[in-house]
Each structure stands twice: as C-alpha cells, then as structure tokens.
Amino acid sequence: MSKPTSGPFEKTPGWLDWYEGPSKPAFQVPPGSVDAHCHVFGPGGTFPYAPERKYTPCDASREQLFALRDHLGFARNVVVQATCHGADNRAMVDALQAAGGRARGVATVKRGVTDEELQNLHAAGVRGVRFNFVKRLVDFTPRDELMEIASRIHKLGWHVVIYFEAVDLPELWDFFTALPTTVVVDHMGRPDVTQPLDGPEFELFVKFMREHPNVWSKVSCPERLSVSGPQALNGEQNAYRDVVPFARKIVETFPDRVLWGTDWPHPNLKGHMPDDGLLVDFIPHIAPTAELQRKLLVDNPMRLYWPEESAGKA
Ligand SMILES: O=C(O)c1cc(C(=O)O)oc(=O)c1
C-alpha cells in the first residue's frame, strides 16, 4: 500500500496514521467476505473535510482502501460515511462508484435531503444512513429529525446504523426501539470490557438484541475497546483478549445478525494503530467455527447489502 498523506488540511495534533505494510493474515477469510465497516477520508484536496468536523484525519483514499481489501483477502467493502465529512457524502459515493459493484455505502443525511438526492445515493450503492450519538464526534440532532429521516429511508429498503456509548443505551432505548427499519449497531455499542460479561451494562445490550430481532451488531473495533491488550502489532496472534468474550457472546448468541469490519483507517485511535492483518487474525477468536465465520463475513453482509445476489440462499 502507498503511504498515508495529508493534503491542504492540517491533521489533528497527535493524529495516528493508518498502518503501512499490514501483514498477510494467518486466518484466511472465506471466499466472498465483506469488510462491512470501513471509511475513506478525502483525499482532502479533492473532497474537503466538513467545516463542522471534530477531527481532521490523514487522507485515506479509495485506492488505498481497495488495496487493503485485496491484501487481506476480502471481496467487498461497506464504506461508512465518516463524521469528518459531515453530511457531504461525495468521497464515500466516489469510492462506491469506483468499486465496480464491490462496495455498498452508509450515508449521513440531513432532514432537508431531497427524494432525488436519496435516489441518487441509492443508485450509487448506499443502503443505509448513520445516526451518531457519540458526543466527541458530532453535535446533537433532534430525535424527531432522525425519526423523520428513518421513515423516509425505510421506504427505500435501507437500514439505520447507530453509534453510541454503552452508558447511553438506557437513555436512547426508547428512540432505538421505535425505529422502523433494521438497526445496525456500530462496534457492539462500545461496551466497557472491564465490567463483567454478565454485568448489567452488557446484559442490557444483549437484551436489546434479544428482544428486538431487527437489531444487528458489528463485532468490530477490539482495538478501541480493549483496555489490557495486547495490541495487534508485531505478529501478536492473541490480541485484545479482554474483548474476545464480549464479541464471541454476540456472535454465538445472534449468529445471523452480526457483521465484521476492519474500521480502517481507524479514526481517533490514541495509543496505537493496529496492523490490519492481525485484526483479521482476531476473527477466529470471536467466531470459532467455519459456519460462524461464513455467516459473519459472507452470508449476513450479503443479505443486508446485496440481497439481490443472496436471495434464496440460507
Ligand atoms: O470512535 C471513533 O472515533 C469513530 C469515528 C468514526 C467517524 O468519525 O465516522 O467512525 C467510527 O466508526 C469510529
């Protein structure tokens, strides 16, 4: 892969660039696997970062994303609109259009979005919108505005991706459970993995999924959630051990409603930047059988993002 660059923008102080030269994973993902959570950043010289952004990243182009996809052995990507681009979806849409059908997208839209704009996003491959509740990333959007957007995109067959911190789930519960669409939770709702697996916080998340069959979860981002490591660097084959029981519980309890993604280029990591090849080697720890791996990496993302190709398959 080529080196990370930054264009006319100055990166947030302390910004960690994505990892150059990721290792070749020891774990071979099944044919047709989907990296169902990744981003593109700019390049800022072509697709400027949004004025309202909370961070300024290094660039992470579509070519660099596709090179990583091929290197790790994935067939497809789901490109999720990053908050540094606000509701300007051009960089994400550009990546979808360049992917030759091998990428779908999740957009950020505002209440004023027109039906024609939604249709254009659909034609480009967008299949969902993202609602973000992580306060360090976005300003507050009124719930009625989000609900209005959800009911409009529901008609297009899209879903809603939600990003929040575990401590905020009780307060967001009523809003989330009123959403009319399939709801996909980013990064397992960011559990505090120093708390017990069967403690009240994670139990609430499990209950959220158990009681609401329209709720799915991405079992991604151990590098964000881990407290004790070890980090996915220097060939480490047992990275982020403290996250494993949480992710594995979700995969084994809800095998048909889980997705996995690299989260490349890993915005806002503070301590270290993982080797993406070693992140792939984390997968068999949380999805220990071939069947669970196939569901997580192929069947589930295909059903959600390419239903026309997976119709009729189990
Ligand atoms: O935790 C984060 O900082 C983060 C940020 C973004 C984004 O800025 O879109 O997306 C993610 O999936 C995670």
pLDDT per residue over 150-200, tens digit each?
A: 999 999 999 999 999 999 999 999 999 999 999 999 999 999 999 999 999
Tokens encoding 71: 């290197």
Q: Which atom of ligand 1 is nearest to the CA of 54?
A: 8
CATH of domain 34-313: 3.20.20.140
The pLDDT assigned to 313 comes to: 55
Residue 263 is among the residues annotated as catalytic for this protein: yes
From the candidates 35, 59, 263, 276, which is the catalytic residue?
263
Q: Which atom of ligand 1 is nearest to the CA of 187?
A: 12
pLDDT, averaged across the chain = 96
The pLDDT assigned to 114 comes to: 98
Specify whether the CB–CB gap between 57 and 15 falls below 8 A: yes
In this predicted structure, the answer to whether residue 269 has a pLDDT above a threshold of 70 is yes
In this predicted structure, the answer to whether residue 79 has a pLDDT above a threshold of 90 is yes
Tokens encoding 216: 């799915």
Specify whether the CB–CB gap between 195 and 218 falls below 8 A: no
Q: Which atom of ligand 1 is nearest to the CA of 37?
A: 12
In this predicted structure, the answer to whether residue 39 has a pLDDT above a threshold of 60 is yes
Domain ranges of the chain: 34-313
The pLDDT assigned to 312 comes to: 56
* Residue range 235-261, pLDDT digits in tens: 999 999 999 999 999 999 999 999 999
The pLDDT assigned to 168 comes to: 97
What is the pTM (predicted TM-score) of this model?
Answer: 0.97
Specify whether the CB–CB gap between 96 and 65 falls below 8 A: no
Substitution site in 58, 79, 83, 168 for ligand 1 pocket (most atoms within 8 Å of beta carbon)? 83
Give the Cα separation of 296 and 258 in Å (integer).
6
Tokens encoding 261: 């993604």
